[in-house]
Structure 1
Amino acid sequence: MGKDQVVNVGQRTSLYRMISRLEDAGLIVAGDTERDERYPERTVYRVTDAGRSATRQWLAEILAAPRNEFPEFPAALSFVLMLPPETAPELLSERRGRLQEQIAALDTDLAIQAGEHRLPRVALLETEYVRAVTHAELQWVTAVTAELADGSFTWNRRELDALASGAHAPNGTGSE
């Protein structure tokens, strides 16, 4: 149901390790084993009372208080100064195209889930959120790319070396 947009399960072995940890902690218990002729046998797990309580506590903490999740893109931006300024617009333009594709795919997914599958909005909140964040990133990337293209935003190695050596303070006053 699109949870792969917001949950990184990784490999199947990671999923099985997580299930084992949840079971060891008493948060889930194995239930029935089902078999569908098209798929291998699978175990259905049930959430325990302790699991339900832990989930509610986790949800309350996560929903109420923002926290830094350390995504890769801002980390890469912190090192963009290592590239020549003429390289950044090319890379950001490529990202912009991919963001546009992601938004189109999210729009399609939302339309299908709400229309054909008639899912209530509450079941689509994470997709709405991912779309909103992706749209905000697209706007920001578009603005920075335009500034790089028109020359209103740039950098050069000499200024960066001076800054690194302490010869130029960030406020433009210089340092002695």
Structure 2
Amino acid sequence: MKRRKVSNPLALAVLAELLIEPMHPYEMGRRLKEHGKDRDIKYNRGSLYMVVEQLTKAGFIVEHETVRDTQRPERTLYAVTEAGRAELYDWMRELVTTPVHEYPSFGVALSLLVVLPPAETVELLGRRLETLTAQAREIGDSIGQAREQGVDWWFLIEEEYRLAMREAERGYVASLAERLRDPQYDRMWQEYFRGTT
């Protein structure tokens, strides 16, 4: 992956929002939340303002104008620069084409799973499976409702991805729990577990 002047994923979202029109950071945050981007991009008001400052220093956005109306304090609107536009497209192309190794917390748990007793592990995986099933149903229902309301498919792709990931994890968790119920696996695990306690 290319080293970037500003590498926070929130910066990517800010650049994308500013492609639409110049806006104030508060408006960017409102739109990100309204469009459900806060499910994929972690941020708060402070981090949003910090990213706006970093993008400004990098030359990717500029102060466009200062707006004053009678009901609100003075607000600075920002706009994307040509350099910012180029950075957005380059970064997006890289993210779409290049898989990267991520460090999901469940992967950490799986790498250390042998510290738990086998019977407890199977029970915990069963509870995870219930949660994943409920989440997959909720996401599927949400996608279905959006389609019924005429929402275009490209507005649903991140939800479709979330659903696919939940379904893949459901399949894996169910398979793992089944393997751990096998007396052979259980015996090997029990022997290991006895050796560590």
TM normalised by structure 2 equals 0.69
The 1-side partners of 2:54 and 2:92 are apart by 19
Provide the C-alpha distance between the structure 1 equivalents of 2:182 and 2:74, rounded to a whole number of angstroms: 59
Partner residue of 2:82? 49
Amino acid at match of 2:178: A
Q: Distance in 2 between matches of 1:40 and 1:157?
A: 66
- Aligned pairs (5 A) from 1:16-165: 16-31=49-64, 33=67, 44-116=77-149, 118-151=150-183, 153-154=185-186, 155-156=188-189, 158-159=191-192
Which residue number corresponds to residue 168 of structure 1? none
Q: If each structure's helix is expressed as a fraction of its own residues, which one has the higher value?
A: 2
For residue 68 of structure 1, give the secondary structure of its aligned residue in structure 2: coil
Deviations 1:98-145 (CA, angstroms, capped at 9, x unpaired): 1112112211222233332x3321222111111101110011111112
The match for 2:40 is 6
Q: State the alpha-carbon separation in 1 of the partners of residues 100 and 168 from structure 2.
A: 18
Partners of 2:191 and 2:184 lie apart in 1 by: 18
User: AA paired with 2:136?
Assistant: I
Matched to 2:38, the amino acid is D
Q: 2:60, 2:80 within 8 Å by CA — same for their partners in 1?
A: yes
Q: Distance in 1 between matches of 2:130 and 2:77?
A: 40
Cα distance in structure 2, aligned partners of 1:34 and 1:145:
60
User: How many aligned positions are there?
Assistant: 159
The residue identity in structure 2 corresponding to 1:101 is A
- SS of the residue corresponding to residue 185 of structure 2 reads coil
Structure 1, unpaired ranges of 5+: 165-176
AA in 1 matched with 2:82:
D
Q: Indicate the SS of the match to 1:69.
A: coil
* Greater relative contact order (Cα < 8 A, sep 6+): 2
Alignment TM-score, normalising by the size of structure 1: 0.76
Query: Is the CA contact (8 Å cut-off) linking 2:118 and 2:190 kept in structure 1?
Result: no
Contact 2:115 2:193 in 1 (8 A): no
* Distance in structure 2 (CA, Å) of the matches to 1:107 and 1:69: 25
User: Residue type matched to 2:154 in 1?
Assistant: V
Determine the C-alpha separation between the residues in 2 that align with 1:124 and 1:56: 21
